[in-house]
Amino acid sequence: DFYDYLTMAIVQEALNNQKVAVHYYTRCLKKNTTHLLSAMRLVFLSISLNDTSVSLPLISRLYRDHRENPDAIYLMALLKEKCGKTKEAETLLSFAIEKRPTNHLYYYQRGNLYLKEKNFEKAKEDYKACLTFNIKFSPCFFSLSRLYGLRNRFETGLKMINLAIKYDNRAEHYVQ
């Protein structure tokens, strides 16, 4: 039953049994191909395990069946990035932004792609858009600190780190 698989996946993930959780999320998606929570968790676990072999076909099918759903587009973009297809990931994220222009995660992720390519101005624009929709999103401040560090603007980078810590005191352990 779908909910049994979902429960097992969540429990296994909580127990830090990521590979077993992937198995159960996969079973969930085979029972209900449109369950975005399962799809999202499957993608994030696959990326952290550095193995997209299971998630790629399932997310490809989800994306094929729900091309207009910005969350499905976002998940496909994450997998494309993980597979080294940066330009395709950028295109997908741009499409997701068109569909849902107020989702801060889409801008954040595309900003990270731009930063990887050293396209600092576009990265900065996307990070600022991200913060427009979620001013307390501390990972974005960390990315901005990296951007400023790469541009030798260390004082501004330090301000970004302090803002990240201000909005999420758990972030403090990243800078120690």
pLDDT band at 36 (very low <50, low <70, confident <90, very high): confident
Q: How far apart (Å, rounded) are the C-alpha atoms in residues 111 and 123?
A: 4
User: Is residue 110's pLDDT more than 90?
Assistant: yes
Please state the rounded mean pLDDT for residues 112-130. Answer: 97
pTM: 0.82
Q: How far apart (Å, rounded) are the C-alpha atoms in residues 107 and 127?
A: 6
pLDDT for the residue 172: 60
User: Is residue 145's pLDDT more than 70?
Assistant: yes
Please state the rounded mean pLDDT for residues 137-147. Answer: 95
CA 127 to chain centre: 14
pLDDT band at 173 (very low <50, low <70, confident <90, very high): low
User: Is residue 170's pLDDT more than 80?
Assistant: no
